Amino acid sequence: MSSIMAMPKIGVNMTEATIAKWLVSEGDHVVEGQPVLEAETDKLTQEIPSTVSGKIVKFLAFEGDTVEILQPVAVVEGEGAQDQKPPAAPAAPPVPKEELAPAKAARIKISPLAKKTAKSLGIDYALVKPGRSGARICKEDILKFAGQNKAGESIPPPAIEPTKKTAHAPAENAAAAQVTLALRADMTQFLDLLSKIEANGGKAGLEAMLAFCVSRALREFPELANPVNIGVAADAKNGQMTVICGCDKKSLTQIGAELEQKQITVESSTFAIVNLGMFEIEYFAPAPPAAGCMLGTGTVAKTPVAVTKNGADAIEIRPMMSLALCFGPGNADEATAARFLQRVKHALENPALLLCM
């Protein structure tokens, strides 16, 4: 007796998944609950267990294939299984020879995240080659291709088929183009350390300290910026930036010196910081660059804050600053971005701990 193994639904909003890897081969015997494949969605990669025990007779979907939920992926032969057959495809009507279409092109192996990144950057992923022969196209391949084209090559515009939904596409894309996470940081220790540095002849300003703290946090999140080239806004009128290349490897003094020179560079930043605190802006959500994230910071304002001292609640006035991390859907997932922003908050509230790193 044989049964059909189908792609299960592993997420609330999941409609399809890509088979990243088969963990078994045709002819292998499996038991119920044994992981048989790795399925990848926009959010995660998860091992999928077998729902029956028996022998893998034939794969119906292969590595790199994107299949819808409940679509058959393999035929399993074993005890206790009821005979099932994959749903037969409807017979196609005869087509005149002169109307026959050309042979279908080979399927392009690409991860869902890479596909989303290519779409957000306006890149035809059919033009992108994977880093390893025979491998799938990943997000890094898309970003590398985008960087090469920034240097001089032109990216062919993606083909757009006219449909009834075309008129609504810009609004839909704009709504999904940016994600913003925000919180506030207590800047008490940050300002105290900055005052001590300046009192001892140091020249590190607020932007340099911000870049220093953010670069140390990025060491723990290489998926957000690698290498750590931090752009700091140098001209509020036209958005030009001074880019500190390898910022996570430079000292606070080195970062301050480069920012003091205010040299506008053409290097591509992998992360950006924009501070509008000098304009008394309390909070804003900047538009992130195409292939990176951007942190927007507001003014440091004295704010009543609820604190706990000696087991009792109290209200104290603390210097607080808003942080808004903005990124496109292809640049990071919300959970990773949230953990990173929390790490930045901890770094700003405890900057002295970073000086020994």
Residues 209, 345 within the same domain: yes
CATH number of 118's domain: 4.10.320
What's the mean pLDDT in 295-318? 92
> Is residue 86 over pLDDT 60?
no
Residue 191's pLDDT band (cuts 50, 70, 90)? very high
Residues 149, 191 within the same domain: no
Where is pLDDT greater, at 286 or 304? 304
Residues 282, 148 within the same domain: no
Where is pLDDT greater, at 216 or 77? 216
pTM flag (> 0.75): no
Residue-level pLDDT at 357: 55
Residue-level pLDDT at 165: 39
Q: If you average pLDDT over every residue of the chain, what do you get? A: 78
Residues 148, 242 within the same domain: no
Residues 343, 194 within the same domain: yes
Of the residues 77, 94, 123, the one at which a domain ends: 77
Alpha helix ranges (H) inside 200-284: 206-218, 252-261
Where is pLDDT greater, at 70 or 335? 335
Residue-level pLDDT at 163: 41
Where is pLDDT greater, at 329 or 220? 220
What's the mean pLDDT in 122-126? 84
- Residue 302 CA to residue 281 CA, distance in Å, equals 13
Residue 314 lies in a domain: yes
> Is residue 277 over pLDDT 70?
yes
Range of the domain at 38: 2-77
Residue 73's pLDDT band (cuts 50, 70, 90)? confident
For the chain, the straight-line distance linking the first and the last C-alpha, in angstroms and rounded, comes to: 63
Q: Of 349, 350, 217, which is closest to residue 293 (Cα–Cα)?
A: 217
Residue 234 lies in a domain: yes
Percent of the chain with pLDDT over 70: 74
Query: In the chain, how many domains are there?
Result: 3
CATH number of 21's domain: 2.40.50.100
CATH number of 336's domain: 3.30.559.10
Residue 181's pLDDT band (cuts 50, 70, 90)? very high
> For 99-110, how does the pLDDT look when each residue is reduced to its tens digit (9 = 90+)?
444 444 567 778
Residue-level pLDDT at 112: 74
Residue-level pLDDT at 216: 94
Residues 14, 112 within the same domain: no
Residue 116's pLDDT band (cuts 50, 70, 90)? confident
Q: What is the DSSP letter of 248?
A: G
- Residue 81 CA to residue 327 CA, distance in Å, equals 48
> Is residue 43 over pLDDT 70?
no
Residue-level pLDDT at 295: 92
Residues 154, 126 within the same domain: yes
Residues 219, 341 within the same domain: yes
Where is pLDDT greater, at 98 or 27? 27
Residues 262, 230 within the same domain: yes
Residue-level pLDDT at 11: 62
Residue 232 lies in a domain: yes
Residues 286, 350 within the same domain: yes
Residue 167 lies in a domain: no
Residue-level pLDDT at 39: 84
Q: 88-110 b/e with 16+ CB inside 10 Å = b?
A: eeeeeeeeeeeeeeeeeeeeebb
Residue 139 lies in a domain: yes
Residues 140, 252 within the same domain: no
Residues 194, 136 within the same domain: no
Least confident of 49-63, 69-83, 315-329: 69-83
In this structure, which amino acid lies at residue 289? Answer: P
